[in-house]
Structure formats: structure tokens, C-alpha cells
Structure 1
Amino acid sequence: MKTQLRQSLILLLTAAIWGTSFVAQSVGMDYVGPFTFNSIRSLLGGLCLIPAIFLLDRLKYKNESVKPEYNKKRTLTGGVCCGIVLCLASNLQQIGMTHTTVGKAGFITACYIVLVPVLGIFLRKKAGLKVWASVALAVGGLYLLCITDGLSIQPGDLYVMGCSLLFAVHILVIDHFSEGTDGVRMSCVQFLVSGILSAIPMLLFEDPTFSAVCVAWMPILYAGLLSCGVGYTLQIIGQKNMNPTVASLILSLESVVAVLAGWILLGQALTLRETCGCILMLAAIVLAQLPGRKPEKA
């Protein structure tokens, strides 16, 4: 029980870090462009994971003669593929956050949890009634969150929806490469790839200056070191020997933390209509992660 409680607290801390990082992303946009923010953030996250790799290896393999076994080529390939998708997803999210609130961005992004089983249909993975009920709840929540009285959608919400879809693809790519790879090493590669790719449009479309980056140092460091590096490492540690359903339910609180952080730190209060949309989407997220009924024994 003590171990389960400790693991749950670690995952709760992870959700809090990821949820509050939406505030850092929003504040950082006051000083630098979206591609600049994501490039520096991702590179910091990748560099932060390098010492974490050595630390986790020493904790897992106390005997120095025993080396971790993993497929290096598959780990590198998986990291590159994940980095490409992550680059597209994170930049769409960052651009969208310039036109929407932190709370709405957090909840719309969390829709990837519902989209993952839906996209799995194209990979010949069956989706049950529970999944379609989650989709219906999510669509209703998105309508209340994003669609105004004139049946129009804000550009920022549309960008974040695209980001949510790409994050769902990102999870499926991770699932494809997970077997035989080292998770932390693959994550390190994906962050470095995402940072390098984000630097290309940064140099083409933005005019980053050293002074602007220095002014935005706090949100960039928070999003890079804590959200990318520390957050992912805590997720790996927290999910060890943990029920995956319980773990995913705790991590889904990220969207709730994003709303509370945007309200407390930035004063971005939600209307009653938007609050109802958040409740529906949270219900969809929880329902999508509940375990299905086990088949009865013959």
C-alpha cells in the first residue's frame, strides 16, 4: 500500500507539472515566437534526460558489469519518428495557445486519450461501445468549449484540435516502437529531433534574439526542464508496477490542473458554458480509460 501511494503521488506530481506547463507556454509567448519557444524547450528537455539516463541505469543495474539491453537501432528510429510527430503537435499547440485560453487548450489537448482508440480502428484494433460513448461526450464537450453562439470556431481551438490528433498519433507511434527499446533514451532522441526541426521554421519565419530569450528564461526553463525532462522521467518511475488504468486516470488530471492554473495564475476564468464543456470532456477522458469487462470463463 505504501508503494502504491508513493507511485500515485509521483504520477499526481507529473500531472501537476504538465498541467501548469500550459501557463509557462502561454507566458513565454509574450516574449518569443512559438517555434523559438518549442525549439529551445525541446532541446533543453533532451539535454536534461541525458543525466537521467545514467541515473536510471545505475538504479536499475547496480552491478556495473551488467549493461542495459535494448535495440539501439530501433530506439534511434523510434526516437526520430516520435520527434517528427512531436514537433508538429507541439508547434500546433503553441500556435493555438496564442488565440485561446490555457484551460481550453488543456482540455482540448486531452482529447488525444479518446482519439487513440478511435485511430486504432485503422490499425485493425476494435473499439467497443465505451469508446464511442467517450467520443460522443468529447464531441459535446468540444462543442460547448469551442463553438460560439454563431456556430463559429476560434482559430486557436482549431489548431489545438489538430495538436490533439497528432498527439494521438504520437502515442500510437510510441506503442509501435515500445517493444525492445529504452523508453528514456527514445524520449531523449525525440526531444532533440523535435528541437532541431523546430529551429528550421524559427530561423525562416521568426527573428529570435538573445535578449528576448533571456527575458523568457523562466517559462522556457519550466517547460523544458520540468515539463519535458523531469515530467517524463517521473512518469516512467511512477508507472513502474502500477495499474495502467489507475496511472492513466491520475495523469488525465493534467487537463484539470491546466484550467485551475490558468484561472489562478492568469485570471482566465471559464464561462458556465465552457465549464460544462470541461466536465463533459473530463467524463469522456475518464470513461475512455476505464477497463472493459473481462470475458467470462467457459
Structure 2
Amino acid sequence: MSRLQANFLLLISAIIWGSTFVVQQVSMDLIGPMSFTAIRFFLGFIIVVPLATREWKRKSQTSCALNKKTLSLKYLLLMGVIGVILFIATIIQQIGIIHTTVTNAGFLTAMYVPMVPLLGLIIFRKNPHWVIWLAIGFSFAGTTLISGVDSSLELGYGDALVLTSSIFWGLHVLLVGIIAAKTSMPLTVAAIQFAVVTILSAVGAFALETVSIEALLSAFWFIAYAGLFSVGVAFTLQVVGQAHTQPADAALILSLETVFAAIAGAVFLQERIGKVEMVGCAMILSAILMVEVLPMILRRRRRIT
């Protein structure tokens, strides 16, 4: 898969996630965050597990040396760890959304964009191209304009939770890219992380929430959309796409979910997109173009000189 194709898959993920943000908040009036998370990720697991099984069988038929590298207990455990990180990020964000606005939540969640290269630098000593830092600045500024959040933002309980979740989202994006690329088994990574999130959320739901059929039925369509599309399709495409592109680049492309959330609000909720918000969208798009186009221009100039 080419880098362009991989980035297109990430773009589709951003579109789906952008349209799911409002669903996440509305559903919290009907069902608990643990129950909601458990069922949506179970639906996603059901979708991807046949593909992951096929991928696993195909991989197991390759050479012994490759098997030892890709099917080892080490990598399976790492996939499980990614699932735990995804669970923490999802639950903290989901609980935080209950206690804050969609605007604040969208703005604070977008903090994972600078988190990815920063965590990569701290943990793996990997310093990204200077263009990445410039693009992150544009993306962050654009997200601020779209959200309408200004210097008067006061961090409440829900805001603090969503901001904390952005650290785990950044770590998730970073590790998914590394493990998916090293193992060449993105569908297996997706299936295992979905299974881990489902199990941990189900345990939390039965321990901390009142689980009832009535609540599940009342939130059925919200759960179905979030499970089938946000988890089953978008998270799977994220893992597949990140196997063929850099984590920092992926974070910038995925930040487009902010733009698509604004578009979805205008289409389905009649929320108006003003000139300031349009400038914000343009800044995020320019950040993506920086990452995709500027390095190619610089390489061509070096060849000419």
C-alpha cells in the first residue's frame, strides 16, 4: 500500500470520527459510558475478527523466521497493551464528555496531535522533520478557531478528563503505527485491541453501572453507529493506514475530524459555520498539505542543487 492510499484511509477515519462526536454525548443521557463502550467495541470486534483470522492464517503459513518475529508472545502482549491504552483513552474521554460541552471536548481532544511527535521524541528519541512541528502549530491554531475556544477557557472536571485522555490518544496513535508496521498484521492489532476494550468495559459496566435491556434498546441506534462505523470501520482503517505512514503524519490527518465535526453539525444540527471557523478549517487543511507536499519540494530542490 502506498503512503497516499494509507493517508486516504486515515482521512475516511477522520470523517467518521467527526460525525460520531455528537453521538457520543447524546447517548450518555440514555446509557452509562462503560456499557456504551463495551457494546460499541464488541460490534467492532465482530466486524473485524473474520478479517483478522484470515490475516493470521495467511501469516502463519509464511517462513518460520517471519513467524517468530510477527506471531511471538511479545507482539501479542504489545497488542494487548495497545488495547488497554485505547480503553483508558476512550473511557476517560467518554466520562469527560458528560461533564463538558462538545466544543470544549473537541478542542481538548485535539491536543493529541502535538502529543504524538512529543511522545515519540521522549520515549523513542525520534525527532520528526521540522515541517511536522510547523504543521502542528497550524493545526492547533485551526482547531482553536473552529471550536471557538479562547483564552477565557476554564478547565472544569470534564475538561480536565478530556485533556488527560488526549495523552493516551497520542500514545495510542504512536504505538499503533509502530506495532502495525513491525508486524504487518494491522487487522490482528485491531481485533485484539477491540477485544481488550470490550472485556475491560464490560467488567466496569457490571461493577459500576446498572445494565438494563431498556437502556440498551433506547440507545440502540447510537450504539450501532458508534460500533459499526466509528469502531468497526474507522479504528480498523486507522490501524491499516498507520502501518504505511508515520505516526506524526497520521495524527495531523486524523485531526481533520475537527473539521468534519463542524461540517456534520452544520448539516445535521443546523449549526452555522462562520468566517472564523472556515479560516480554521483552511489552516488545518494547510497543515496537512505542508506535511504531504513541502518535504517533496525540499527534496527536489536538493536534487537540483
Shorter-chain TM range is: 0.7 to 0.9
Query: Counterpart in 2 of 1:83?
Result: 83
Greater share of residues in helix: 2
Query: Counterpart in 1 of 2:266?
Result: 263
- Give unmatched runs, 5+ long, in structure 2: none
- The one-letter code matched in structure 2 to 1:38 is T
Please, which moves more after superposition, 154-163 or 281-290? 281-290
For the 8 Å contact 2:27–2:222, the answer to whether it is kept is yes
Query: Counterpart in 2 of 1:204?
Result: 207
Q: How far apart are residue 72 of structure 1 and its match?
A: 4.0
For the 8 Å contact 2:113–2:248, the answer to whether it is kept is no
Query: Counterpart in 2 of 1:214?
Result: 217
Query: Counterpart in 1 of 2:115?
Result: 115
RMSD: 4.0
Q: Which residues in structure 2 correspond to 1:209-288 (within 5 Å)?
A: 209-235=212-238, 251-269=254-272, 287=290
Q: 2: CA distance between counterparts of 1:153 and 1:277?
A: 22
Query: Counterpart in 2 of 1:167?
Result: 169
- Give unmatched runs, 5+ long, in structure 1: none
Report the TM-score, using the length of structure 1 for normalisation. 0.76
Q: 2: CA distance between counterparts of 1:23 and 1:227?
A: 12
Report the TM-score, using the length of structure 2 for normalisation. 0.75
Q: How far apart are residue 284 of structure 1 and its match?
A: 5.0
For the 8 Å contact 1:110–1:164, the answer to whether it is kept is yes
For the 8 Å contact 1:83–1:194, the answer to whether it is kept is yes
Q: How far apart are residue 229 of structure 1 and its match?
A: 1.5
Q: How far apart are residue 42 of structure 1 and its match?
A: 1.7
Query: Counterpart in 2 of 1:17?
Result: 16
Show CA shifts across 1:75-99 (max 9, x none).
Answer: 4212211011101111122122222
Q: Which residues in structure 2 correspond to 1:44-123 (within 5 Å)?
A: 44-54=43-53, 69=67, 70-98=70-98, 99-101=100-102, 105-122=105-122, 123=124
Q: 2: CA distance between counterparts of 1:6 and 1:135?
A: 22
- The one-letter code matched in structure 1 to 2:52 is I
For the 8 Å contact 2:35–2:211, the answer to whether it is kept is yes
Q: 1: CA distance between counterparts of 2:215 and 2:168?
A: 29
Please, which moves more after superposition, 274-283 or 109-118? 274-283
For the 8 Å contact 1:112–1:167, the answer to whether it is kept is yes
Q: 2: CA distance between counterparts of 1:15 and 1:233?
A: 12
Q: How far apart are residue 257 of structure 1 and its match?
A: 1.3
Please, which moves more after superposition, 184-193 or 264-273? 264-273
